[in-house]
Amino acid sequence: MSITDQLVKFSMVEVPEEAAAMMRLSLFDWAACGIAGAAEPEFAAFRSAQMIEDGPAHVFGGGDLGAAHAALVNGTLSHALDYDDTHFAHIGHPSVAVLPAVMALAETVDTPLTDAIDAATIGVEASVLVGLWLGRAHYQVGYHQTATAGAFGATLAAARLLALDKVQTRHALGLCASMASGVKAQFGTMAKPLNAGLAARTGVEAALWAQAGMTAAQDGLSGPLGFGDTHHGEAADVKLPRKEWQISEISHKFHACCHGLHAMLEALGGAKVEAERIEAIKIRTHPRWMSVCNIAAPKTGLEVKFSYAHTAAMTLLGHGTGAIANFSDEIARDKDIIALRASIEVVEDESLSETQSLITLTLTSGEVRRLRHDLMTPMTLESRSEKLRTKAKALLGEERSEPLWAAVIGNDLDAVTECFSGK
């Protein structure tokens, strides 16, 4: 069965309670990131320029737009801080592509929150499946899985929400094949979050066009000359989930930078050593991250978010990486950080997984310490919820984060979207 056949079938399955529970946590995290992202001065002009129509869908920062445009804006703003969730199976940020499409359409067709959660769960799972099907070659050659696989996930989620039939869903996926795009060259720039917004908009448009009767190739994803063939897809063997869904392994961010840095930062959190006592630091990481988040000498706050050496030096000097404000242009120019950064070596280690990091600290006394962390270390839903609420409080303040939490664990879609204004 082709990946397209599987996705069409998957669009109509029942969503397990455990998967939906994880999706609610990601909805909360995504919305907190989007509300905070809308306040970023760098994106003020972008957001202002997009407010060109009235519609039913709420936009982060206030205002309402049509579904497709709201998905574009909310997808971009929710990824502006690069603080949203990741799935390491295919190296993508699923929520920022899928949830903007789902929430904008859900407001448009007046859908209960539980139905929106189910559609989003289907979409996130589908984005991971498509990412696995495309394989590492697709990502490694330069495509941004958040934007490419994410667009197909957003499309399937939108198809589920609109209750498209099998023929319409197939056409929606075919239409998506002509629009899904995004390259890793944009990492460290404002165009990286735009990739997420474009994926979300693609999902809305592809589903609405298919609903309106537009047709497309019967298999624009995996057929001859389709998306996989033309985008370095490996056509890997993937299976629809049964008991265990991929969403159960979603990884939420607790540091405001590229997720490839988080295992290292968690390991360094246990170092408990003064920076002046450090002679040298060697950071070992999976080879894939060397081309993603290893900017040796970042010049801007955005670039710092993709730098092993700079964020490691920040951590050791007491600059918290959970604080958005610490990723500034000033921090990129900090002389003490730059000096410590010079003692840090980053090397690839194929024996490590993409979620692991191994650090060797050599102290001036000659003592050698080794630190290790794996982001796949299991975490209960309760513990995850607590950490996400703490993160949201830091981003938004308790007066805004707690009403958002109350809305997300309820079933009133309007209560959630009314929080988007950040007021």
At 243 the pLDDT is 81
At 98 the pLDDT is 98
Mean pLDDT, residues 119-147 taken together: 96
Distance CA 193, CA 197 (A): 7
What's the whole-number average pLDDT of the chain? 95
Domains assigned to the chain: 3-251+380-421 (1.10.4100.10), 259-374 (3.30.1330.120)
β-sheet bridge partners, residue 346: 283
At 290 the pLDDT is 94
Using alpha carbons, list the distances in angstroms from residue 22 to 19, 74, 115, 389, 393. Answer: 5, 20, 15, 14, 19
Q: In 89-122, which positions are buried (b, 16+ CB within 10 angstroms) versus exposed (e)?
A: ebbbbbbbbbbbbbbbbbbbeebebebbbbbbbb
Q: How confident is the model at residue 304 (pLDDT cuts 50, 70, 90)?
A: very high
pLDDT digits (tens, 9 = 90+) for 186-201: 987 999 999 999 999 9
At 275 the pLDDT is 87
Of 94, 23, 84, 98, the C-alpha closest to 324 is 84
pLDDT digits (tens, 9 = 90+) for 209-248: 999 999 999 999 999 999 999 999 999 999 999 888 999 9
Over its C-alpha atoms, the chain yields an Rg (Å, rounded) of: 21
Mean pLDDT, residues 361-371 taken together: 95
At 302 the pLDDT is 86
Share of the chain above pLDDT 90, in %: 89
Distance CA 228, CA 67 (A): 28
Is the pLDDT confidence value at 423 over 80?
Answer: no
pTM of the model: 0.88
Mean pLDDT, residues 32-58 taken together: 94
Mean pLDDT, residues 362-378 taken together: 93
Mean pLDDT, residues 384-391 taken together: 94
